[in-house]
Structure 1
């Protein structure tokens, strides 16, 4: 069966600084009208490198070709924040870690300094392929009557998408941690709690996640965690994403406070000090 995911050949057409830690980049491609409009927390990949490295990756076998390549372009995982099919454009909000040449990774460097018109590949679901609505989506609240979203800055684009697609009759709560006060933004949650890291704050200050005990993982600890909900028929659904150690600590606190394992999803998007594709 053909995967819903495939590479789209795109170019950078615009950038907008959203806040201290976020740059929005706009990508345009001739066939982006076929890009899945699912949004939510659906994962996509940016493939960054010289054209000679991108050209062999334009087919459905892109990943196996990338794995076998002697020289590989960089790959980073993101969530789209907008799909404008008529214009053949998508937006991606990139978290800025460092500056080009001073600690920034390949995607952060591209977002800050790539020339308008620079080429890259976007690996995303194709709306003409079966399964494009579900592939790469971890947000599965089922019939939950209450949704609790917990995350750091890397989860913020997904959280914003989820809150923009609220279901009637469901209560949405969010606890979010960002690097700077300037990163706080308006979101359509019934209850919204922001924690600002530069002020020494963390989502782990907020009940029930403040119940972290000795031995719980801390930010920077452990391998990437990926644990999706199995079946949610009612009650509450917990979705937590971000730095792996932070997510592990949230999971430990949730377990101690009796959160139903089958009604919770925990996704480690990255690990401090490690490279994640």
Structure 2
């Protein structure tokens, strides 16, 4: 499959008050192999401009270098997302409408309409993450992790799944999920409390995603309880008060070293 291309919006709906689900079609999607937790980069054009894609394909390092060489005024903003669902020639992506000032992706999602066009890089099988294998698999995250958790539940029969959302209105029809409502509490606090109170048999595995500091706290707690670090898949999808364009923090760099086994 071609790693880069254009995506056209064919449908927009809101499964919850704070979630926008967008259906895209585009060249190459019919060739897309399905796997759980399938990630891709979406490229949002500057206001009033069409999407300009790098003029190379294939190797991600060459592609990213070509992306950086696009003049800043024309360079699209790149953000990471997970495929929520797919059909033979379409994919669905969910956008969470966070409170506070909108970033470029959230601002786009609020007014998304059929016919609009974004760019993409991926999904790329080189970044496919393994499905945790164990007697019990803990899946834990906030609303940004819900698309990935939904796809993982289709592959994991022995999951204990926890999803923290703003309130009851943010629940989606999804079996085997324990929903945790913040209802004004600090982001991540309900999720941490629920995981701490959950019994996990020896030899369990875990998959964690969502706000970065919450993911770190969850992982630290599970390691203290005896889970092997190699049995924990973890990703910070977003950072409080920071965007993907901001420089990595020392904690972000430490996470990257852990993932690389350093």
Q: TM-score, normalised by structure 1?
A: 0.76
User: What is the Cα deviation at residue 209 of structure 1?
Assistant: 6.5
Match of 1:92 in 2: 93
How many residue pairs get matched? 232
Q: CA RMSD in A?
A: 2.3
Asked if residue 245 in structure 1 is aligned to residue 213 in structure 2, the reply is: yes
Q: Deviations over 1:117-169 (max 9, x none)?
A: 1111122236xxxxx3xx32334313x12111011111111001111233xxx
Query: What runs of 5+ residues in structure 2 fail to find an aligned partner?
Result: 246-262
Deviation (angstroms), 1:58:
6.3
What does residue range 20-31 of structure 1 map to in structure 2 within 5 Å? Answer: 20-31=17-28
Moved over 6 A (4+): none
Q: Give the 3-state SS of the residue equivalent to 1:97 in structure 2.
A: coil
* Structure 1 Cα separation of the partners of residues 55 and 191 of structure 2: 39
- 1:242–1:139 distance in 2 versus 1, CA, 3 Å: farther
| Alignment check: 8 A CA contact 1:76 1:107 kept | yes
1:165-244 equivalences in 2 (<5 Å): 165-166=155-156, 170-189=157-176, 192-200=177-185, 202-208=190-196, 235-244=203-212
Deviations 1:220-251 (A, max 9, x none): xxxxxxxxxxxxxx931111111110011101
Within 2, Cα distance between the matches of 1:177 and 1:198? 10
Q: Distance in 2 between matches of 1:207 and 1:125?
A: 30
Aligned residue among 222, 226, 231 for 1:258: 226
SS of equivalent residue, structure 1 residue 198:
coil
Q: Is the 8 A contact 2:51 2:119 kept in 1?
A: no
Q: Matches of 1:29 and 1:58 in 2, distance apart?
A: 18
Kindly state the Cα deviation for residue 97 of structure 1 after the two structures are TM-superposed: 1.9
Residue in structure 2 matching 1:82, options 82, 85, 88: 85
* TM-score w.r.t. length of structure 2: 0.80
1:65 corresponds to which residue? 66
2:141 corresponds, among 137, 140, 151, to 151
Residues 50-78 of structure 1: per-residue CA shift (max 9 Å, x gap): 55552445633432111222312111101
Tell me the SS of whatever aligns to 2:8.
strand
Q: 1:67 to 1:47 in 2, by over 3 A?
A: same
Give the whole-Å Cα distance in 1 for the aligned partners of 2:213 and 2:138.
19
Select the residue among 96, 107, 110 that pairs with 1:109: 107
